[in-house]
Amino acid sequence: MFAEENGLKGDPRLQAISQAIRVVPHFPKQGIMFQDITTLLLDHKAFKDTVDIFVDRYRDMHISVVAGIEARGFMFGPSIALRIGAKFVPLRKPRKLPGEVISEKYALEYGTDCLELHVGAVQPGERAIVIDDLVATGGTLSAGVKLLERVGAEVVECACVIGVPEVKVMIYYLLAGAGLLESHFMFLLSRVKQTNFVEQYQKVAQQLSCSPSKMRLHF
């Protein structure tokens, strides 16, 4: 699931990519440690390496569709698509895509949201990957996978720059719950560093004078 467990262990590029990502505490609200990839985009070498690693992985898998989730998936998806000779298909929030679309609802912490895909953008039988900057609960990615499968595409893999380790179990559960195959596993370049994560988590809990177990982390 994580790149370092998938043949990229010790790859120096991964460390630089991880270090280029900055954490912004209390965004979008108190208690949330936001993983900000914009600093990665400012580091040309790290950004290029990120794209290279995804391209190396998918180049020979006969992928014809790279689906990127609005909006940070748009920052990584097209470069990968161009390099592997695939189409880029944006998966968007409601009412952004003109013309005929299909939609898929998914759960948020409070309430629901919706992802849309253009009718006709993807043909049955196409092999697709879904890209986003980060996976937390997996809700958005699941919606993306469902949309593609509804039009008959085969989702080969989901790929994100960042994954949260604790979420691994949740993702399998979510995907299994939706009746999707286990092959929709995640390829993730960077984990939120375990030790930093715990420290940050505890520090914020201290500041908020609440028990860490009462805090929920979202990215």
Partner 1 sequence: MFVVCRSNSSSFRSVVAATRPCFSCPRFPPLIAIPTPSSSIRFPPLRSFSSPRQITRMASKVAQDQQDSRLERISSAIRVIPDFPKPGIMFQDITTLLLDTKAFRDTIDLFVERYRDKNISVVAGVEARGFIFGPPIALAIGAKFVPMRKPNKLPGEVISEEYSLEYGTDKMEMHVGAVQPGDRALIIDDLIATGGTLGAAIKLLERVGVHVVECACVIELPELKGREKLGDKSLFVLVKGAA
What would the x/- binding string for partner 1 be over residues 16 to 35, using CB under 8 A?
A: ------x-x--xx-----x-
Separation CA 119–CA 97 (nearest Å): 10
Which residue's structure tokens are 């979202």? 218
CB of 79 to partner 1, least distance (A): 5
H or E stretch covering 175: helix 168-177
74 binds partner 1 (CB under 8 A): yes
Instruction: List the one residue from 2, 4, 19, 36 that touches partner 1 (CB under 8 A).
Output: 36
- Residue 51 contacts partner 1 per CB under 8 A: yes
**Binding status of residue 3 toward partner 1 by CB under 8 A:** no
| CA-wise closest residue to 138 among 218, 71, 66 | 218
Question: Site for partner 1 (CB under 8 A): how many residues?
Answer: 40
Kindly identify the residues of this chain, within the stretch 121-160, that bind partner 1 according to CB under 8 A.
121
Contacting partner 1 within 167-196 (CB under 8 A):
none
Residue in 30, 61, 62, 82 binding partner 1, rule: CB under 8 A: 82
- Residue 116 contacts residue 102 (beta carbons within 8 Å): yes
Q: Which is nearer to partner 1, 133 or 149 (CB)?
A: 133
**For residue 196, how far is the Cα from the chain centroid?**
21
Binding partner 1 (rule: CB under 8 A), the pick from 30, 61, 62, 71 is 71
Q: Which residues are catalytic?
A: 72, 109
CB closer to partner 1 out of 86 and 155 = 86
Please state, in angstroms and as integers, the Cα–Cα distance from residue 116 to each residue in 88, 96, 100, 127, 161, following that order.
Answer: 14, 8, 10, 19, 22
Q: Sign of dihedral through CA atoms 86, 185, 93, 72?
A: negative
Query: Is the preceding omega at residue 28 within 30 degrees of 0, hence cis?
Result: yes
If the CB atoms of residues 23 and 178 are measured against partner 1, the closer one turns out to be: 23
Cβ 177 to partner 1, closest distance in Å?
30
At 215, the amino acid letter reads M
**Part of the chain binding partner 1 (CB under 8 A), chosen from 76-84, 105-113, 178-186, 204-212:** 76-84
Beta carbons within 10 angstroms of residue 45's beta carbon:
11
Tokens at residue 215, please? 């805090």
Residue 164: closest CA among 186, 200, 136, 201 = 136
User: What are the residues binding partner 1 (CB under 8 A)?
Assistant: 22, 24, 27-28, 34, 36, 38, 41-44, 47-48, 51-52, 70-72, 74-76, 78-79, 81-83, 85-90, 92, 95-99, 118, 121
